[in-house]
């Protein structure tokens, strides 16, 4: 009878570890490195672009773990959901020929252990694409208000 509960206890243990990892793992500008990244250009000046990204993060379900207003860098923390173990997004805004170059990078909260898994790579690149499009939309809306 006790053997019937072993798979349940193992699953409960794995879920508990994932939830604890989500709560503990915070992003830091100095310690977080993006596993995958993508960029886009906008006509807004870099400082206004950064303000648009900060407004986007605070108005949505994201938590800002760390930011540096001088270097226009922010770490956005996406919490764990049923579909994801959570992600950290590292966003840099730089000036390029009078325009703003926005680099959005993603780091898995699971760390490098699962980084080389084809499934995890696919999930991370889809999440990166979703965040990149959301940031583009936020900057575009800020530009046209």
CATH topology of domain 2-143: Alpha-D-Glucose-1,6-Bisphosphate; Chain A, domain 4 (3.30.530)
Regions of the chain with pLDDT less than 50: none
Domain boundaries, the chain: 2-143
pLDDT of residue 107: 87
Burial 13-33 (b: 16+ CB within 10 A, else e): eeeeeeeeebeebebeeeebe
d(CA 42, CA 20): 38
Q: Encode pLDDT of 35-70 as tens digits.
A: 899 999 999 999 999 999 999 999 998 889 899 999
Query: pTM of the entire structure?
Result: 0.80
User: Residue 56: in which H helix or E strand, if any?
Assistant: helix 46-59
Structure tokens at 1: 């009878």
pLDDT at 1: 53
What are residue 108's DSSP bridge partners? 87
Around Cβ 110, how many Cβ atoms within 10 Å?
A: 18
């Amino acid at each position: 009878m006790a053997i019937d509960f072993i798979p349940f206890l193992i699953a409960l243990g794995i879920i508990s570890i994932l939830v604890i990892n989500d709560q503990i793992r915070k992003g830091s500008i100095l310690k977080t490195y993006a596993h995958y990244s993508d960029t886009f250009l906008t006509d807004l000046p870099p400082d206004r672009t950064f303000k648009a990204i900060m407004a986007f993060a605070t108005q949505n379900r994201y938590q800002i773990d760390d930011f540096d207003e001088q270097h226009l860098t922010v770490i956005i923390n996406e919490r764990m959901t049923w579909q994801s173990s959570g992600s950290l997004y590292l966003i840099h805004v730089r000036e390029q020929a009078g325009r703003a170059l926005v680099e959005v990078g993603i780091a898995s909260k699971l760390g490098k252990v699962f980084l080389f898994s084809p499934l995890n790579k696919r999930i991370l690149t889809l999440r990166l694409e979703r965040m990149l499009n959301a940031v583009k939309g936020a900057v575009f809306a800020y530009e046209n208000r």
